[in-house]
């Protein structure tokens, strides 16, 4: 069972929280805590061996925590997700494979593509695929069609697995800190479109990928994970795109694992990640 706490910092928090946990005879398997001493914020992730009634435990924790504390207790952590894609298969296929073999830490409920290219691979794994074209309609209509499809599933997270349309602030606001994107550059370098072309023109010696929560600003949301690989003068833009796919796949997989295991906290447009 995982217990996740975020609140204002005060002296004795660890003592009070661990006292509550000890009273309940819960055995702490792993405890991670972090204090942002500038912002006076306290973050804790506890893993205990036993599974108990979350309601009672939450009540007891509230008695020792500041009023505004956020407490999440996940008896059986397992998330539900919807995946948005365009044409590129690599991130989606990795998610589908892990989903199929039950190692994703979440269940893929459906996949929505603004192109129809990835229907086949989804259907081979028995995953519902919806094609919602963005052509010949307003962004508003496009997003309403997506929302309408997603709603019945009540997913915990939307995963943008190389979804190449920019979502409106209104859409994103429906899923606050629940939309996860993979951006094909080492943010904040090369924000926006065609990052590999920009990287090529700048003559960089490393290229990167960044998994982040989507906020209102393009490519400006809290970063969850980043990774790079070396490139050199002999790489064309196409070579960089291909090399980048490998780390896009791997950094998105890593970020999803962290999020699904309740290891990521968000504040001030940054993340605390207990790896």
Tell me the closest approach of the beta carbon of residue 64 to a copy of itself, in angstroms. 11
Among 72, 74, 228, 239, binds a copy of itself (CB under 8 A): 228
Q: Is 204 one of the binding residues for a copy of itself (CB under 8 A)?
A: yes
Q: Is 30 one of the binding residues for a copy of itself (CB under 8 A)?
A: yes
Alpha helix (H) residue ranges in the chain: 13-23, 54-64, 90-100, 119-124, 139-150, 169-173, 195-202, 237-260
d(CA 210, CA 244): 11
Query: Which of 140, 219, 239, 262 is an active site residue?
Result: 219
Among 253, 260, 262, 263, binds a copy of itself (CB under 8 A): 253
Q: Is 226 one of the binding residues for a copy of itself (CB under 8 A)?
A: yes
d(CA 275, CA 151): 31
Among 2, 22, 157, 262, binds a copy of itself (CB under 8 A): 22
Q: Is 52 one of the binding residues for a copy of itself (CB under 8 A)?
A: no
Q: Is 64 one of the binding residues for a copy of itself (CB under 8 A)?
A: no
Tell me the closest approach of the beta carbon of residue 190 to a copy of itself, in angstroms. 7
d(CA 3, CA 69): 13
Verify whether residue 156 is a known catalytic residue. no
Q: Is 63 one of the binding residues for a copy of itself (CB under 8 A)?
A: no
Of 76-84, 118-126, 133-141, 172-180: span binding a copy of itself (CB under 8 A): 118-126
| Residue 189 neighbours by CB distance under 10 Å | 15
Q: Is 41 one of the binding residues for a copy of itself (CB under 8 A)?
A: no
Closest CA to 158 of 261, 83, 214, 86: 83
d(CA 214, CA 180): 6
Compare residues 81 and 273 and give the one whose CB is closer to a copy of itself: 273
Among 3, 4, 7, 21, binds a copy of itself (CB under 8 A): 21
For residues 229 and 268, the answer to whether their CB atoms sit within 8 Å is: no
Tell me the closest approach of the beta carbon of residue 122 to a copy of itself, in angstroms. 11
Q: Is 31 one of the binding residues for a copy of itself (CB under 8 A)?
A: yes
For residues 223 and 186, the answer to whether their CB atoms sit within 8 Å is: no
d(CA 194, CA 171): 24
Q: Which residues contact 217 (CB under 8 A, 6 or more apart)?
A: none
Of 53-61, 63-71, 74-82, 184-192: span binding a copy of itself (CB under 8 A): 184-192
Tell me the closest approach of the beta carbon of residue 137 to a copy of itself, in angstroms. 29
Residue 123 DSSP code: H
Compare residues 149 and 228 and give the one whose CB is closer to a copy of itself: 228
d(CA 71, CA 110): 29
Q: Which residues are annotated as catalytic?
A: 219
């Amino acid at each position: 069972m995982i217990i996740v706490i975020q609140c204002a910092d005060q002296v004795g928090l660890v003592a009070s929280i661990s006292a509550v946990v000890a009273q309940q005879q819960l055995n702490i398997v792993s405890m991670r805590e972090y204090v942002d001493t500038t912002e006076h914020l306290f973050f804790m992730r506890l893993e205990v061996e036993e599974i108990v009634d979350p309601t009672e435990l939450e009540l007891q924790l509230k008695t020792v925590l500041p009023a505004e504390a956020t407490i999440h207790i996940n008896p059986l952590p397992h998330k539900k997700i919807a995946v948005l894609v365009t044409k590129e298969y690599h991130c989606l296929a990795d998610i589908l494979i892990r989903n199929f073999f039950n190692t994703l830490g979440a269940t893929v409920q459906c996949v929505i593509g603004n192109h129809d290219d990835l229907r086949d691979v989804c259907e081979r794994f028995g995953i519902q695929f919806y094609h919602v074209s963005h052509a010949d309609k307003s962004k508003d209509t496009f997003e309403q069609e997506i929302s309408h499809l997603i709603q019945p599933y009540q997913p915990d997270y939307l995963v943008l697995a190389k979804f190449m349309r920019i979502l409106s602030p209104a859409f994103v606001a429906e899923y606050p800190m629940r939309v996860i994107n993979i951006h094909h550059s080492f943010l904040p370098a090369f924000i926006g479109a065609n990052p590999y072309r920009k990287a090529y023109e700048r003559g960089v010696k490393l290229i990167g990928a960044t998994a982040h929560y989507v906020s209102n600003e393009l490519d400006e949301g809290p970063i969850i994970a980043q990774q790079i690989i070396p490139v050199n003068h002999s790489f064309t833009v196409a070579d960089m795109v291909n090399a980048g796919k490998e780390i896009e796949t791997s950094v998105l997989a890593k970020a999803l694992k962290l999020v699904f295991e309740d290891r990521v906290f968000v504040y001030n447009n940054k993340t605390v990640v207990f790896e």
